[in-house]
Amino acid sequence: MKLYHIFFQYSLIGIIRMRPPKNIKLTFVCTLWSPQLNMAHEIVKIPDLLEEAHVPLIVFHREQHTAELENCLKPALSMNKPIHAWLFGQPGTGKTLVSKFILRKLSKDGRLGGIYINCWEHNTYYAVLDELVRKLRILGAEKLNTSFKLERFRQFVGTRPFIIILDEIDQPKRMERDSIIYNLCNVGNVGLVIISNSRDMLFSMDERIRSRMNAKQIEFSGYTIEDLASILRLRAASALSAGTWNDEMLGKIASFAEGDARCAFQTLKNAARWAESENSATIAEKHVQAGHNSSRGSKKAWLLERLSSHHRLLYDLVKEHGQINSGELWEAYLDECREINKPPIALRTFSEYMNKLIELDLVRWDRALVRGKVRVFRPTD
């Protein structure tokens, strides 16, 4: 008689009834299965809730900002032209979140149309128009001509109110940026929500364009530690398995983030992944530290990726020297440009670019102990 061994891993205790053929003898070897013993701990249940792109049903700790932006766009519900808005502040302070939240809220009944465009991905006037007509599926706008595309968009919206969110407006060059804003803000009842890291970008625009746009300025400061901990608690309750996190751990992540919600979400997600990789039942302090180190590097890479090649070159030179004064940095920059056959920026632009690196906390500076307006730069880390 043939002998067949059938091995079962079974999670429930029960009675198995089978009638084997007469010439076959079945031997059942059953082992009790426990998720805690044989399966990695799942900490992250819904990873999408920890992504910066997630827009929750309620936005907390940005009530004043949402109210201000909603007041700018509300005229559109009465078929009037919205008030243009200029949102500015450091990365991770809720500018994109609030913009998308208000657009979703006002357009949910179909009375108001709107679209989101990332100007880092579409950093020319032509690219913005092309993305606009593509997303709206405007027929007959295939011509490679900005005037034609703009006219087709104008015909498409007619007199209907329409909202365009222009995120990361810092990325297009000045001439392209001016063309984007000037042409779109003059279309019918179109309202612009422009998102920037700084108010300086607004005042660097041509005076006639700035005057015509007459945008409402809304400043976004960094979140407090308490606010970030509260936001993290809400996300963790839905995104993570129960019992895998605690308030003390979230408070530590909030303090690490220094007001940047994007950094806080990234740290929490990384910490959870580190804990899962070690088959830990909870997120421990060592996982939070590892998650913070990983997210800090990711944030720096994310910021540098969105800057020009000249910004990155200046940052690399500061990092290479460790400490360098403004005159030496300018000379080192010119030498590097000559070596790689790259046209250098002007001295005035050099100062603006260094201010940008300081603003993004990639570089720090002190006044040099010499006469004149000489600064000493060093990388933040």
For residue 169, CA distances in Å to 128, 268, 286, 307, 354 come to 11, 29, 38, 12, 19
Q: What is the pLDDT of residue 36?
A: 42
- Looking at the structure, tell me whether residues 24 and 90 fall in a common domain: no
Determine the Cα–Cα distance for residues 275 and 133; give it in Å rounded to an integer: 45
- Looking at the structure, tell me whether residues 314 and 299 fall in a common domain: no
Does residue 353 fall inside a structural domain? yes
Of 185, 200, 220, the domain-final residue: 220
- Looking at the structure, tell me whether residues 153 and 285 fall in a common domain: no
Does residue 44 fall inside a structural domain? no
How far does the chain reach from its first CA to its final CA, in angstroms?
Answer: 74
Does residue 299 fall inside a structural domain? yes
Of 169, 201, 220, the domain-final residue: 220
- Looking at the structure, tell me whether residues 198 and 117 fall in a common domain: yes
pLDDT in tens, the chain (381 residues): 443 333 333 333 333 344 544 554 444 444 343 444 345 679 999 999 999 889 999 999 999 999 999 999 999 999 999 999 999 999 999 999 999 999 999 998 888 999 999 998 898 999 999 999 999 999 877 788 899 999 999 999 999 999 999 999 988 888 999 999 999 999 999 999 999 998 888 988 889 999 999 999 999 999 999 999 999 999 999 999 999 999 999 999 999 999 999 999 999 999 999 999 999 999 999 999 999 988 887 778 878 887 889 999 999 999 999 999 999 999 999 999 999 999 999 998 899 889 889 988 899 998 877 666 789 999 987
Which CATH number belongs to the domain containing residue 81 in this structure?
A: 3.40.50.300
Does residue 52 fall inside a structural domain? no
Strand 375-379 relative to strand 324-325, pairing:
antiparallel
Q: What is the pLDDT of residue 52?
A: 85
Does residue 51 fall inside a structural domain? no
Does residue 46 fall inside a structural domain? no
Which CATH number belongs to the domain containing residue 351 in this structure?
A: 1.10.10.10
- Looking at the structure, tell me whether residues 183 and 95 fall in a common domain: yes
DSSP 311-339: HHHHHHHHHHHSSEEHHHHHHHHHHHHHH
Q: What count of residues does the chain have?
A: 381
Predicted model pTM? 0.77
* H, E, C per residue of 343-376: CCCCHHHHHHHHHHHHHCCCEEEEECCCCCCCEE
- Looking at the structure, tell me whether residues 72 and 216 fall in a common domain: yes
- Looking at the structure, tell me whether residues 83 and 211 fall in a common domain: yes
How far does CA 313 lie from the centroid of its chain?
A: 23
Q: What is the pLDDT of residue 295?
A: 83
Nearest by Cα to 193 from 175, 209, 213, 221: 213
Q: What is the pLDDT of residue 86?
A: 98
- Looking at the structure, tell me whether residues 229 and 216 fall in a common domain: no
Q: For the chain, how many helices (H) and strands (E)?
A: 15, 10
Q: What is the pLDDT of residue 31?
A: 38
Q: What is the pLDDT of residue 143?
A: 81
- Looking at the structure, tell me whether residues 197 and 239 fall in a common domain: no
Q: What is the pLDDT of residue 325?
A: 94
Locate tokens 């030179």: which residue? 317
Q: For the chain, give percent helix, strand, coil, nearest 5.
A: 50, 15, 35
Domain that holds residue 357: 308-379
- Looking at the structure, tell me whether residues 13 and 161 fall in a common domain: no
- Looking at the structure, tell me whether residues 81 and 192 fall in a common domain: yes
Of 159, 186, 220, the domain-final residue: 220
Determine the 3-state secondary structure of 146 from DSSP: helix
Does residue 138 fall inside a structural domain? yes
Does residue 45 fall inside a structural domain? no
Domain count within the chain? 4
Cβ 164 vs Cβ 191: under 8 Å: yes
Cβ 270 vs Cβ 290: under 8 Å: yes
Which CATH number belongs to the domain containing residue 252 in this structure?
A: 1.10.8.60
Determine the Cα–Cα distance for residues 304 and 318; give it in Å rounded to an integer: 14
Cβ 377 vs Cβ 326: under 8 Å: yes
Cβ 103 vs Cβ 163: under 8 Å: yes
Determine the 3-state secondary structure of 127 from DSSP: helix
Locate tokens 């129960």: which residue? 242
- Looking at the structure, tell me whether residues 281 and 193 fall in a common domain: no
